[in-house]
């Protein structure tokens, strides 16, 4: 069964149609990349999938692990195994990263019918997972993303993904604002989480990230539609030629 | 001497009566419900329960000290605790603003209160937990507390007010605190009066050179309530920390009036106040900082943040800086807002449902005030009460 099945998806933001008929299927174990210029609808796609209420699905169907996402609120999608790594992770003063993570991990476990982790089991899990993105201990004690650098925030996103062990990881422009070293650490973290039963949707403007997270499929998103799909070589093609030909064709 | 003071106060109270909303300091808080009510002097032992926070508790039931319920017999040398009716200090009544109707009525009619003295050089680590129980419907309780911390001394005082649910009564407290040079008073107030009661407190602190007065006032209860908190910085390098949190729902009305008087140079005063308001509750915050001409190198910071959980809730926040010195660092700020929807969405994408997410964000907002709490038992206790309050509101 497909992990994610998007059929003729249309979506609007503030009554403005952004997505105009997206079709995409991700099977377990696959990494799909969506590339596109600014304003093509990349972030709208990730927000519609994750359940942001500001983004309204107007037509089509999205099945996640066989379930229609219309039946699931944002937190239920997360509990069912969908994870969105934010382009701009949110700062939350007054809640420590550890407290936040424990609440999240146990919320997901509860939904999935698993036992709650006690403090000791939780710490063991943190010790285990923090190696994946080399996150510093002091960042774990600090308030969620408060005063974190851009790179630290993105690492924290991948760390959260490692802790929540989703079925599908959606990375929304995770490479934006990262220098090459930070990019490598984040990409290594994602690669460490690749497995035969987990899929990824990597959304990016630039080909650079795909040098490190090598996709199985690449899709080009322009004006809210997928205009071309191919293998990883499509990303290199785009790097050479840019998006200009598609954007012009559409008469933008 | 005390009798003379009380007679004078009664005369003043009878002549002036209660303030009205025409007076600037009472513009947003209408006390006519208190002014027009008839209160009795009925008394009984209290059936209310309380949780002792440490070894020392001083319990007042319906306005009178209960030796039976209290526990303060085993005190080290240099620490004196008792009833204000039994112990004498010439400074009683000299600090609290005699012009205020609540102070004058208190001075005239107080039935009891705590007297706490730590002598020069005495550092007393055990927090002194004052418990005020109220469960006589229709009664007025006038309570008078006196705290004296000697030179280079240290004392922690937690005032807790607990009321019988559904009872209507009036608690009127005056607490005077004298902190001598290099002294440290760590003071907490936890107000858990009944939701149908009236609660007023005037807290006045007098700070000597290099002394610290720290106050955390947390309010959950009373239909109509007000804290008047006044600090007088009279010696250089004194520090006043006055933080507070008010958690209001239904039609509760709670007012905080702060007055920091910087009379001398090089003093600090820091105030962080936060409020969470649900339903049709209303809060007033007025923070006045006076920096007198001589008070150079004053460092005064004040902020008041409010979170409105409902469209019917309302806040009036009025920071007032009055500065007559030229070399000072003074800032103030006030915010009124709703929960951050982006933060809520972020929590949701991590599996946390909106109800729990709202509770987490709301607690986080309040937690900033509790961060500064030094006394661990007070911190844990207050945090528990905040969680309890939030759980009720979420329901």
Identify the pLDDT of residue A1: 84
Task: Please determine, for residue B295, whether its predicted confidence score (pLDDT) is greater than 70.
Answer: yes
Please tell me if residue A50 touches chain B, with a CB cutoff of 8 Å: yes
Q: What are phi and psi of A143, to 5 degrees?
A: -60, 150
Identify the pLDDT of residue A252: 42
Find out whether A6 and A68 touch, Cβ atoms under 8 Å.
no
Of B346, B360, B365, the CB nearest to A103: B360
| E strand or H helix at B363 | helix B354-370
pLDDT band of B367, cuts 50, 70, 90 = confident
Minimum Cα–Cα distance from B356: chain A residue: A103
Task: Please determine, for residue B179, whether its predicted confidence score (pLDDT) is greater than 60.
Answer: yes
C-alpha angle A164-A170-A175 in degrees, rounded to nearest 5: 110
Identify the pLDDT of residue A248: 63
Find out whether B339 and B390 touch, Cβ atoms under 8 Å.
no
Q: What is the DSSP string of A202-251?
A: EEESSSTHHHHS--SEEEEEETTEEEEEE-THHHHHHHHH-SHHHHHHTT
Find all residues with CB under 8 Å of B369, minimum gap 6, and list them. Answer: B216, B243, B244, B245, B272, B273, B274
Q: What are phi and psi of B364, to 5 degrees?
A: -60, -40
Identify the pLDDT of residue B68: 96
Domain map of chain A by residue range? 4-249
For residue B275, list its beta bridge partners.
Answer: B246, B306
Identify the pLDDT of residue A204: 93
Q: Do A92 and B357 touch (CB under 8 A)?
A: no
Task: Please determine, for residue B371, whether its predicted confidence score (pLDDT) is greater than 80.
Answer: no
Q: Do B351 and A108 touch (CB under 8 A)?
A: yes
Task: Please determine, for residue B168, whether its predicted confidence score (pLDDT) is greater than 90.
Answer: yes
Give the Cα separation of B213 and B229 in Å (integer).
12
CA of residue A57 relative to chain centroid, distance: 18
B64-71 and B184-192 beta bridge pairing: unpaired
CB contact residues (below 8 A), chain A span 160-179, against chain B? 160, 164
Chain B nearest-CA distance from A236, in A, is 32
Identify the pLDDT of residue A249: 56
ipTM associated with this complex: 0.95
Q: B108: helix, coil or strand?
A: helix
Q: B276: helix, coil or strand?
A: strand
Task: Please determine, for residue B2, whether its predicted confidence score (pLDDT) is greater than 90.
Answer: no
**pLDDT tens digits, B253-290:** 999 999 999 999 999 999 999 999 999 999 999 999 99
Identify the pLDDT of residue B380: 92
Q: What is the DSSP string of B304-354?
A: EEEEESSTT-EEEEEEEEEE--SSEEEEEEEEEE---HHHHHHHHTTT--H
pLDDT in tens, chain A (252 residues): 899 999 999 999 999 999 999 999 999 999 999 999 988 999 999 999 999 999 999 999 999 999 999 999 999 999 999 999 999 999 998 788 999 999 999 999 999 999 999 999 999 999 999 988 888 888 888 889 988 999 999 999 999 999 999 999 999 999 888 989 889 999 999 999 999 999 999 999 888 999 999 999 999 999 999 999 999 999 888 888 888 877 765 544
Task: Please determine, for residue B317, whether its predicted confidence score (pLDDT) is greater than 70.
Answer: yes
Find out whether B277 and B315 touch, Cβ atoms under 8 Å.
yes
Under 8 Å CB pairs connecting chains A and B tally to: 75
For B136, the token pair is 């006589």
Identify the pLDDT of residue A251: 45
Task: Please determine, for residue B171, whether its predicted confidence score (pLDDT) is greater than 60.
Answer: yes
Average pLDDT score over residue span B60-78 = 96
Task: Please determine, for residue B230, whether its predicted confidence score (pLDDT) is greater than 80.
Answer: yes
What percent of chain B stands above pLDDT 90?
87
**Chain A residues with CB inside 8 Å of B365's CB?**
94
Chain B nearest-CA distance from A13, in A, is 16
Nearest to B350 by CA among A115, A70, A95: A95
**Chain B residues with CB inside 8 Å of A74's CB?**
345, 348-349
Taking domain A4-249, whether its CATH number is 3.90.550.10 is answered by no
For A138, the token pair is 């002091």
Find out whether B7 and B92 touch, Cβ atoms under 8 Å.
no
Find out whether A4 and A24 touch, Cβ atoms under 8 Å.
yes
Place of tokens 């969506």: A34
Find out whether B352 and B360 touch, Cβ atoms under 8 Å.
yes
For B352, the token pair is 């946390």
A87 vs B394, residue with greater confidence: A87
Chain A nearest-CA distance from B387, in A, is 14
Q: Do A103 and B356 touch (CB under 8 A)?
A: yes
Nearest to B37 by CA among B148, B170, B158: B170
**Crossing angle between the packed helical segments A119-133 and A150-164, to the nearest 10 degrees:** 130
Q: State the best of B351, B358, B359 to mutate against chain A, taking most chain A CBs within 10 Å.
A: B351
- Burial grade of A13 (CB within 10 A; 0-12, 13-18, 19 or more): middle
Q: B249: helix, coil or strand?
A: coil
Q: B255: helix, coil or strand?
A: strand
DSSP state of A106: H
């Amino acid at each position: 069964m497909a992990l994610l099945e998007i059929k003729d998806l249309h979506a609007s933001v503030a009554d403005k149609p952004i997505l105009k008929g997206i079709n995409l299927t991700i099977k377990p174990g696959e990494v799909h990349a969506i590339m596109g210029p600014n304003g093509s609808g990349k972030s709208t796609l990730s927000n519609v999938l994750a359940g942001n209420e500001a983004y309204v699905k107007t037509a089509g169907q999205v099945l996640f692990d066989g379930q229609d996402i219309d039946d699931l609120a944002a937190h239920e999608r997360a509990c069912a195994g969908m994870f969105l790594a934010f382009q701009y992770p949110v700062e939350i003063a007054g809640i420590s990263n550890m407290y936040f993570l424990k609440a999240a991990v146990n919320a997901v476990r509860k939904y999935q019918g698993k036992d709650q982790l006690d403090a000791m089991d939780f710490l063991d899990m943190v010790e285990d997972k923090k190696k994946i993105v080399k996150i510093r201990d002091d960042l774990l004690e600090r308030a969620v993303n408060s005063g974190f650098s851009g790179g630290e925030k993105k690492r924290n996103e991948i760390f959260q993904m490692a802790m929540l062990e989703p079925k599908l990881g959606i990375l929304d422009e995770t490479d934006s604002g990262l220098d090459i070293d930070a990019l490598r650490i984040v990409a290594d973290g994602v690669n460490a989480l690749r497995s035969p039963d987990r899929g990824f949707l990597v959304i990016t403007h630039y080909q650079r990230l795909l040098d490190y997270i090598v996709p199985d499929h690449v899709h080009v998103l322009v004006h809210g539609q997928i205009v071309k799909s191919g293998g990883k070589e499509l990303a290199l093609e785009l790097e050479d030629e840019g998006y200009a030909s598609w954007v012009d064709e559409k008469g933008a | 001497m005390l009798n003379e003071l009380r007679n004078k106060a009664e005369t003043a109270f009878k002549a002036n009566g209660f303030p009205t909303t025409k007076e600037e300091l009472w513009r947003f808080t209408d006390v006519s419900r208190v002014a027009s009510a008839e209160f009795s002097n009925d008394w009984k032992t209290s059936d209310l329960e309380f949780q002792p926070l440490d070894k020392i508790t001083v319990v007042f039931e319906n306005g009178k000290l209960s030796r039976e319920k209290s526990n303060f017999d085993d005190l080290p040398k240099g620490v004196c605790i008792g009833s204000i009716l039994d112990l004498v200090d010439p400074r009683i009544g000299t600090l609290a603003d005699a012009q205020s109707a609540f102070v004058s009525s208190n001075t005239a009619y107080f039935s009891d209160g705590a007297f706490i003295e730590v002598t020069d050089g005495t550092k007393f680590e055990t927090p002194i937990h004052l418990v005020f129980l109220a469960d006589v419907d229709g009664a007025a309780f006038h309570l008078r507390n006196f705290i004296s911390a000697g030179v280079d001394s240290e004392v922690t005082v937690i005032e807790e007010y607990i009321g019988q649910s559904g009872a209507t009564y009036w608690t009127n407290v005056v607490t005077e605190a004298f902190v001598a040079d290099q002294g440290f008073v760590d003071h907490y107030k936890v107000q858990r009066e009944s939701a149908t009661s009236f609660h007023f407190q005037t807290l006045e602190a007098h700070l000597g050179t290099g002394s610290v007065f720290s106050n955390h006032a947390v309010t959950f209860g009373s239909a109509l309530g007000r804290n008047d908190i006044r600090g007088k910085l009279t010696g250089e390098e004194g520090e006043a920390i006055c933080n507070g949190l008010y958690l209001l729902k239904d039609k509760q009305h709670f007012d905080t009036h702060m007055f920091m008087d910087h009379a001398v140079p090089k003093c600090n005063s820091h105030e962080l106040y936060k409020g969470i308001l649900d339903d049709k509750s209303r809060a007033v915050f007025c923070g006045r900082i006076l920096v007198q001409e001589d008070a150079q190198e004053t460092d005064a910071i004040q902020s008041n943040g409010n979170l409105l959980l409902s469209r019917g809730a309302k806040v009036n926040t009025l920071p007032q800086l009055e500065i007559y010195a030229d070399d000072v660092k003074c800032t103030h700020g006030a915010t009124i807002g709703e929960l951050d929807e982006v933060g809520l969405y972020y929590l949701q994408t991590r599996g946390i449902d909106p109800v729990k997410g709202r509770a987490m964000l709301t607690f986080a907002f309040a937690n900033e005030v509790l961060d500064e709490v030094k006394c661990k038992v007070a911190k844990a206790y207050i945090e528990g009460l905040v969680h309890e309050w939030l759980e009720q509101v979420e329901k």
